Amino acid sequence: RRGMKPRLVLFLYFFFFIFVLVLSQNERRQNYPRHLVEHGDLIFEKNQKEIYSGYSPTSEHVTSVLENVAQINKLQSIDSVFIPVRVNLIFVGFDGDGHNGLKLERENFQPWFRHIDHELSHIIAPIGNHQTTTHAFATKKTNVKYKVISNVVKISPLVNTIIEDEILWNLRLERHDYAEKNHYVDVFRISTVLSNLLEYLNMTDSYTLFILNPKRPIDESESYGYRTGFSSEDIRILRNSKSRLQSYPEFGPHDDRPTLKLNRSTLSSNPKLNRGNLIADSELWANWYIKNYIANKTTDIDEEEDTDDEDDPHNLHQRLEVESDPHSVESVLEFAHEISKRGTRAEKRYLQKVLNEEIVEANCLVDGWISHERFAFIDLSAGPFQWGPTLTGAGIKTLNSLPRVPEPIEVDDLSLPTTAEKTTLEIIEYQYAELFRIRDMKCNGQSSPFCRSLDSRIRALALKIEESDESFSMMDLLKTKDISAESHRTFVELNRFLSKLGALVSHSFRHLFLPAVPLFATPYTERVTFHLVVVTQHNAYDPLESNSFDHLEFKRELLKFKLPSQEFVFATTKVSMDEDPSIVAAYSASIRTASLFTTSATGAIVNVQQHYLDSMQLESLLHPSHDKKLDFGLDDKDDSSHEGHSTSGVGHNWRHSRHIPIFLFSLNTSYPVLIDKYYQAKALSEAVVVVQNNIERWESRISCNGEPIIWNLKKPLKRALASTILALGGLIPTHISYDEASQRAIQNWFWSIGDNPLSSTSSGHHFSAIHKDIVFRNYVASSLDASIETINEAVELLSHQQLREKPKKPYLDVNFLILLFELLQLKS
């Protein structure tokens, strides 16, 4: 072709030659099954359809049918690639030592958790420029699947004892009222213990889901839950006593008293552990914990400073002893005093925040948690609690979302026979009871041949029982029947509990560990430029100071996702609406008003006007101008910072570089302005849009336990991070997924928990190791999917290339000019 470059032709010729050679060598080297080819940790599933017929490269005979290039080289299209994901399920408190004394054996788990070893597709959710809805929306199917390898782990009952002790020791009243029935526990007091356990067991490289069933430390009429920080009443008491607390000489964030830590040598002594049964190893850890931490001894203590990470496995919290009446105000001040003396650095930082910042809200009480590490936990004894959209929405976390541990059924002991024939007699009694139960279920007073046959068999068994022991009367038979009915009811309730728990665990894999990706592409690039364009219309406050939009914290959280081979560039540009008419025009043309229903402070449903920006309209109007802003910011060395290095040295090639513009509109209006009616930040295909308002307390349309969750619209950091990471790596909110069967976006608000930007139940903004893994896995999955599509298209092209004559040898007489021409057309 006249316009074809010789260098490109040679490159494609060489690529095709290597491709054919590798495939032929693999075919000759091993006889693999036609449907599966395993390559390292990836499993390639090939197309079951035969695409060649009757030709073998080693055959001396040639069929009369002229074949194509794909048939001769035995090239097949690839249906999918499997990526293995390992998840540990650790059940704590199910050895008869937890709530309601429930004891689960191996045979209880197998029927309900065996199905968890399943395959999950790498799915695309309808999240993009348009509003995410529950209407049917067919998304593209990918060629990547995940093979979930679950591992049910049994550990020592001592671990449950430690968890119960930590809950009881750190239990605090929601309100200091003798009639108060709600309690809360600082969740980091539990997650740090679990993190330390996982490090000891060398299970930090895989995902872990803890199912906790501790004994309740309070009455059945009361409840407890988890949150970070203090309750609303404790915050109010501390703020009113600020001067008294700051008078303590120990108060301050500089007391870096080292916390108790597990000796590193202990970890190295357990390089290989039995992954199915860790009772002995977890008991060793429990004994170490009790000896060195609960008993306040100092054997094997590593005297290093603690870190800022609340979930650090080495930051085991010191016991904070409060002697005052827990119902009194003094207990709150004494607890804060203990934190100032012996708390971790993170606890002291939070205490300073409560005392010094103007607006600090209490976080939602929850019964589950996503940690900063690679684990999460569900506490079946906590709560129940509820959260989600206030008025309308699907998948809301309700009081019945979590399965409740079935209550034990107590039946009076009977004087059953204890003769040498006890085993045989028990079998007869069991048969009698089962037949009696079946008759009650099937017959219900009817007189069918089947029911008459059952009556005859029941009478025969009753006669055998009476002959075995004359003291065993018919009244005992009736009691035996009652025992069978109660046992059957217990069996049904247990299976109902396990089925609901199994469904919860299965859903957690999709929402927590293997979420969907958005409609727009989020490929890996060697260089990523985050360009923050701050658009202001006022001089009332600084948009980028720490008590508004903390730009430094924004940068620190994003740097968690930088791979060693990547370069992250941060640039900031401030633009006034008065100075740029194009931005003013875009903002004015995108502003909208809508009437929305919400709830008032009294619980009544009211209609309010909501001002918002139309994100798609705004992006389309800003698109011609934001390239100019990007170049301006990148050329200004004072406003940009670089992290890492680029191995390619290419900055503007789309294969190696991405620009993510982040438009922060800082407003000073008397009414809140959102994006697309409901959001404070939104990721679009080519930009991220964030709105900042000078309103520090705004009741959002998400509620928790009957109370609206308060947003500080002056601090859009949390939601800006969530939208930016969605644009960078396709990390969608944890409560959203996609159902391929109905082709609809689905929601499960239970997993909208944790101290992270994707959570709606806390004010935290710290990404976890799980989130980092998801972004990195999305890079791999998107690359694999694109590669498989390219290979399949190449195989399809080769299958259309017919040979001009019967070949005497394989791989000859291939019309490379035609092949290259079609490949170039495909590439273009």
Indicate if the pLDDT at residue 209 is higher than 80: yes
Q: Which pLDDT score is estimated for 383?
A: 84
The residue-averaged pLDDT of 751-767 equals 92
Exposed, middle or buried by CB within 10 Å (0-12, 13-18, 19+), for 269? exposed
**Predicted confidence band at 9 (pLDDT cuts at 50, 70, 90)?**
low
In the chain, count of helices (H) and strands (E)? 20, 26
Q: Which pLDDT score is estimated for 66?
A: 53
Q: Which are the contacts of 687, defined by CB distance < 8 A and separation ≥ 6?
A: 619, 622, 623, 626, 660, 661, 662, 663, 727
Indicate if the pLDDT at residue 680 is higher than 70: yes
Task: Give, for 605, the enclosing helix (H) or strand (E).
Answer: strand 605-613
Tell me the one-letter amino acid at 613.
L
- Whether omega for the bond prior to residue 313 falls within 30 degrees of 0, making it cis, is no
Q: Which pLDDT score is estimated for 448?
A: 67
Q: What percent of the chain stands above pLDDT 90?
A: 26
Q: Which pLDDT score is estimated for 577?
A: 86
Indicate if the pLDDT at residue 544 is higher than 70: yes
Tell me the one-letter amino acid at 521.
A
Task: Give, for 710, the enclosing helix (H) or strand (E).
Answer: strand 707-711
The residue-averaged pLDDT of 495-512 equals 86
A 10 A CB-CB count for 685 gives: 13
Give helix 157-169 / helix 279-289 axis angle, nearest 10°.
30
Q: Which pLDDT score is estimated for 80?
A: 84
Higher pLDDT, residue 435 or 16: 435
Q: Which pLDDT score is estimated for 439?
A: 66
**Predicted confidence band at 224 (pLDDT cuts at 50, 70, 90)?**
very high
User: How many Å is the maximal CA-CA distance in the chain?
Assistant: 106
Distance (Å, whole) CA 824 – CA 828: 6
Higher pLDDT, residue 823 or 645: 823
Q: Which pLDDT score is estimated for 719?
A: 95
Q: Which two tokens stand for residue 162?
A: 């430690």
Higher pLDDT, residue 799 or 572: 572
Q: E-strand spans in 73-220?
A: 78-92, 119-121, 144-155, 172-173, 182-186, 207-212
Q: Which pLDDT score is estimated for 450?
A: 65
- pLDDT, tens digit, for every residue of 329-343? 788 888 888 888 777
The residue-averaged pLDDT of 36-63 equals 37
Q: Which are the contacts of 127, defined by CB distance < 8 A and separation ≥ 6?
A: 516, 518, 519, 726, 732, 736, 745
Q: Which pLDDT score is estimated for 423?
A: 46
The bridge status of strand 698-704 relative to strand 387-389 is antiparallel
| Least-confidence region, from 125-139, 203-217, 712-726, 781-795 | 125-139
The residue-averaged pLDDT of 793-813 equals 66
Indicate if the pLDDT at residue 415 is higher than 90: no
**Predicted confidence band at 617 (pLDDT cuts at 50, 70, 90)?**
confident
Indicate if the pLDDT at residue 605 is higher than 90: no
Distance (Å, whole) CA 128 – CA 108: 43
Question: Does residue 611 contact residue 591 with C-beta atoms inside 8 Å?
Answer: yes
Distance (Å, whole) CA 210 – CA 369: 10
- pLDDT, tens digit, for every residue of 735-749? 888 888 888 888 889
Rg (the chain; Cα; Å): 32
| Least-confidence region, from 300-304, 346-350, 527-531, 667-671 | 300-304
A 10 A CB-CB count for 669 gives: 12
Higher pLDDT, residue 316 or 122: 122
> What are residue 377's DSSP bridge partners?
210, 369
What does the mean pLDDT of the chain come to?
75
The bridge status of strand 78-92 relative to strand 736-739 is unpaired
The C-alpha angle 701, 706, 710, rounded to 5 degrees, equals 45
Indicate if the pLDDT at residue 258 is higher than 50: no
Indicate if the pLDDT at residue 624 is higher than 60: no
Exposed, middle or buried by CB within 10 Å (0-12, 13-18, 19+), for 632? middle
| Least-confidence region, from 143-157, 697-711, 758-772, 800-814 | 800-814
Q: Which pLDDT score is estimated for 255?
A: 35
Distance (Å, whole) CA 466 – CA 481: 15
- pLDDT, tens digit, for every residue of 130-166? 666 667 788 888 889 999 888 888 899 999 999 998 8
**Predicted confidence band at 788 (pLDDT cuts at 50, 70, 90)?**
confident
The residue-averaged pLDDT of 15-42 equals 44
**Predicted confidence band at 296 (pLDDT cuts at 50, 70, 90)?**
low
Distances (CA, A) of 254 to 230, 231, 304, 311, 341: 21, 25, 15, 20, 10
Distance (Å, whole) CA 654 – CA 650: 9
Indicate if the pLDDT at residue 97 is higher than 70: yes
Distance (Å, whole) CA 802 – CA 798: 8
Q: Which two tokens stand for residue 328?
A: 């009194």
Distance (Å, whole) CA 177 – CA 186: 19
Characterise 706 by phi-psi region: left (phi > 0), alpha (psi -120 to 50), beta (else). left
Q: Which pLDDT score is estimated for 238?
A: 86
Measure CA of the first residue to CA of the last residue in the chain; give whole Å: 14
Which of 369, 323, 425 shows the shortest CA–CA distance to 191? 369
Q: Which two tokens stand for residue 140?
A: 């593209």
Indicate if the pLDDT at residue 221 is higher than 90: no
What letter would DSSP give residue 326? T
Give the residue ranges of DSSP H helices in 704-768.
Answer: 717-729
Handedness of CA 530, 535, 541, 542 (dihedral sign): positive
Q: Which are the contacts of 575, defined by CB distance < 8 A and separation ≥ 6?
A: 533, 534, 535, 536, 583, 629
Distance (Å, whole) CA 238 – CA 236: 6
- The DSSP-derived string for 349-417 is HHHHHHHH-S---PPPPBSEEE-SSSEEEEETTS----EEESSS-SS-B-TTSSPPPPPP---------
Indicate if the pLDDT at residue 628 is higher than 80: no
Q: Which two tokens stand for residue 259?
A: 């916390």
Distance (Å, whole) CA 27 – CA 100: 59
Q: Which pLDDT score is estimated for 607?
A: 83
The C-alpha angle 97, 382, 515, rounded to 5 degrees, equals 105
Measure CA 136 to chain center: 24
| Least-confidence region, from 186-200, 279-293, 428-442, 630-644 | 630-644
**Predicted confidence band at 635 (pLDDT cuts at 50, 70, 90)?**
very low
Tell me the one-letter amino acid at 245.
L
**Predicted confidence band at 533 (pLDDT cuts at 50, 70, 90)?**
very high
Higher pLDDT, residue 395 or 766: 766
Question: Does residue 702 contact residue 390 with C-beta atoms inside 8 Å?
Answer: yes
| Least-confidence region, from 55-64, 141-150, 286-295, 743-752 | 55-64
